[in-house]
């Protein structure tokens, strides 16, 4: 545990806390966990739901006995905002790989875009990206995909409660999605572009809510470390 009176501040983190972090762009979710471990000096730290490096937003990080609640938080409904770029697709379904032109967006109307969202609401079957951490015979699929091997991903049942188009500035389409756990927004972007007929990929993503937890209530990594340093008396 801790050895001196000056480390009493650490006790709540050792016992268990839920920390809301606004994950920065390009960071992995584990980067954020590692920072929390270093800042608090607590080894038992985990996150409730991975965010890709190119996504920002809410990351629930648990310490101590609260790590037992991670699965409960992971199962909660999620809310995302972001943008889909129409006219091109990518192997990873986002900007981690080079976009390849599929079709022109010149004849795509607002009506077509809004109508297409309807087939992606409710309980639907979705195929996860081959470039994902889902394991195939014990190996993460993205490792196999990066080696150029063919990876067959099985469709899974998900629920998209709401798929709202918030702004259209072609080729960009901005959205807000409320969905169940297990939903890949990258797959939604790819499938949405394919359904319209011109291709599409995810060009930005921000997680704004997990269950009742909101990103508006989250710390930046910098502000969290600053708060810890104040507790330490630095």
Q: Which two tokens stand for residue 61?
A: 């990080």
Higher pLDDT, 109 or 151: 109
Share of the chain above pLDDT 70, in %: 97
Confidence category of residue 6, pLDDT binned at 50, 70, 90: low
Confidence category of residue 219, pLDDT binned at 50, 70, 90: very high
Confidence category of residue 203, pLDDT binned at 50, 70, 90: very high
**Using CA atoms, how far apart are residues 89 and 231, in angstroms rounded to an integer?**
48
Is residue 167 predicted with pLDDT exceeding 90? yes
Domains delineated in the chain = 5-75+212-232 (3.30.2350.10), 78-210 (3.30.2350.10)
Confidence category of residue 1, pLDDT binned at 50, 70, 90: very low
Contacts of 10 (CB under 8 A, 6+ apart): 2, 40, 41, 42
Three-class DSSP category at 146: helix
Give pLDDT, residue 190.
Answer: 98
Q: Catalytic annotation on 52?
A: yes
Which of 24-33, 48-57, 142-151 is least confident?
142-151
Give pLDDT, residue 92.
Answer: 93
**Using CA atoms, how far apart are residues 216 and 90, in angstroms rounded to an integer?**
31
Confidence category of residue 196, pLDDT binned at 50, 70, 90: very high
Mean pLDDT of 78-107: 96
Are 128 and 134 in contact by the 8 Å Cβ rule? The answer is yes
Give pLDDT, residue 138.
Answer: 80
The whole-model pTM stands at 0.92
CA distances from 206 to 35, 77, 187 (A): 20, 15, 15
Confidence category of residue 234, pLDDT binned at 50, 70, 90: low
Mean pLDDT of 196-200: 98
pLDDT digit string, tens, across residues 101-150: 999 999 999 999 999 999 999 999 999 988 877 887 788 787 877 877 77
Mean pLDDT of 21-42: 96
Average pLDDT of the chain?
A: 93
Q: Which of 52, 94, 107, 217 is catalytic?
A: 52
């Amino acid at each position: 545990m801790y050895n001196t009176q000056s480390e009493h501040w650490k006790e709540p983190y050792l016992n268990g806390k839920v920390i809301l972090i606004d994950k920065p762009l390009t960071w992995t979710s584990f980067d954020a966990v590692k920072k929390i471990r270093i800042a608090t000096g607590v080894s038992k730290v985990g996150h409730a739901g991975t965010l890709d490096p190119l996504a920002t937003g809410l990351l629930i990080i648990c310490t101590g006995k609260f790590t037992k609640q991670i699965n409960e938080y992971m199962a909660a409904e999620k809310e995302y905002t972001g943008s889909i770029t129409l006219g091109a697709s990518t192997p990873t379904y986002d900007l981690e790989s080079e976009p390849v032109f599929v079709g022109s967006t010149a004849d795509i109307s607002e009506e077509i875009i809004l109508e297409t969202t309807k087939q992606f609401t409710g309980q639907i079957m979705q195929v996860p990206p081959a470039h994902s951490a889902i394991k195939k015979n014990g190996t993460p699929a993205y490792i196999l995909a990066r080696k150029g091997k063919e990876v067959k991903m099985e469709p899974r049942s998900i629920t998209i409660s709401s798929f709202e188009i918030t702004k259209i500035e072609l080729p960009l389409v901005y959205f807000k999605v409320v969905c169940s756990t297990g939903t890949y927004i990258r797959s939604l972007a790819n499938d949405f572009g394919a359904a319209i007929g011109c291709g599409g990929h995810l060009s930005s993503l921000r997680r704004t809510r997990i269950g009742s937890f909101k990103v508006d209530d989250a710390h930046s990594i910098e502000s969290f470390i600053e708060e810890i340093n104040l507790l330490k008396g630095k």
